[in-house]
Chain A
Amino acid sequence: MKLELFNTFRDTAQENGVIFYYTGAFSQNVVAAIGDSLKQRLDSVNTSSAARRKVFSTFVEMAQNILHYAPEIAENDGAGAPAKYGALAVGRNGDEKFFVVCGNPVRMEDVSRLHEKLEPLRQMSIDEIKTAYREQLRNEDHANDAASKGAGLGFLTMARDATEPIEYSIAFASEADGGRADLYLRATI
């Protein structure tokens, strides 16, 4: 990367309020390291501890989603072991709201399930989200749902912590290995 491009990259991140950005392979170690670093960054930001907790919670849900659901893929050159890839950014619009965004590959077979989970959440009021959260918490059937490792509470937790509906988009990415799409999520806190 040329130095002036790197400058542009840094300026763009700064103009958009980016506090933290990571792209690459995700593992539990990576998530723990980012989590530590993010906590320290958030501690130096002037905000309520409630907002800090919600930003951190949203980060964990998104990062663990990548760990749980992203298919393992080999890097372009095919060297190295296959890994789960994704990108994640945390930032703040001026002194106002925080955002957590992520993008990662998902399996084609998971796309309709993701739509079904994410779309209704966008229409729900915060009270409806809390009610759905409580119902899901009591839903014992879910223990047998192999597709969901977050106990079905992951997206509801994000929606509960957010001040605006969760934005998402799913774009077709590749035919390889049964097909892949890219999932993008944006939570505002």
Chain B
Amino acid sequence: MEDLHIPASNETPEVRFEFSRHRLSMHGESYPENAMSFYGPIRSSLQNYLEKLPADGKVEVDIGLRYFNSSSTKLIRALIAMLDQTAEGGPSISVDWLHDADDDMMLEFGSDLKDEHRSLKFNTVVAEPA
């Protein structure tokens, strides 16, 4: 299936889902007014990809969000939940959750995601300064 690339905007992160290489990444800030209209299509495209993933598949994901607003929060968490559900069925999915060294809140959010999604190889990683 075709790769998904959405360039960053002021209020939305860069999304680079290279399905052909099994590498998915999302970087930037996320505070669109209508988070559902941004994340809806991303979710469907991810769903399509995950459904076809063989049980011995291997996916690398990295997510580096410097900031997201409240309405993006649940939608970002939902993407992680989709990955986790898929990983339960066999595929090996690793997620690097990048956060700035001094951003305790983003680290805490990542640690909570890690605790709740046990089928993923989930790592919180300090991001290189921009």
Contact = CB atoms under 8 A, between A and B. Distances in A.
Interface of A: 28, 31-32, 35-36, 48-50, 53, 56-57, 60-61, 64, 67-68, 134, 137, 142-143, 149-151, 153-154, 156-157, 160-161
A150 B10 contact: no
A61 B33 contact: no
Given A49-B100, A50-B102, A157 B112 contact: no
Interface stretch (B14-22, B71-79, B88-96): B71-79
B3 interface: no
B56 interface: no
A151 B73 contact: yes
B115 to A, nearest CB: 10
A64 B103 contact: no
Closest A-B pairs by Cβ, 7 of them: A153-B70, A157-B70, A150-B70, A151-B74, A154-B70, A28-B33, A150-B71
Contacts of B66: 53
Interface residues of B, number: 18
A135 to B, nearest CB: 12
B11 A149 contact: no
B33 A31 contact: yes
A36 B69 contact: no
Select the residue from B10, B33, B104 with max chain A CB neighbours within 10 A.
Answer: B33
Given A35-B10, A149-B71, A150-B70, A134 B112 contact: yes
Contacts of A134: 112
Contacts of A67: 33
Contacts of A32: 10-11
A60 B77 contact: no
Select the residue from B31, B100, B104 with max chain A CB neighbours within 10 A.
Answer: B31
Interface of B: 10-11, 31, 33, 66-67, 69-71, 73-74, 77, 100, 102-105, 112
A137 B33 CA distance: 19
24 contacts: A28-B33, A31-B33, A35-B10, A35-B11, A48-B102, A49-B100, A49-B102, A49-B103, A53-B105, A56-B67, A57-B69, A61-B69, A64-B31, A64-B71, A68-B33, A134-B112, A137-B77, A150-B70, A151-B70, A151-B71, A151-B73, A153-B73, A154-B71, A157-B73
A104 to B, nearest CB: 15
A68 B35 CA distance: 12
A73 B105 CA distance: 37
A114 to B, nearest CB: 16
Contacts of B74: 137, 142-143, 151, 153
B29 to A, nearest CB: 9
Contacts of B11: 32, 35
Contacts of A151: 70-71, 73-74
Contact of A50 (B10, B104, B112): B104
Contact of A64 (B10, B33, B73, B105): B33
A98 B73 CA distance: 24
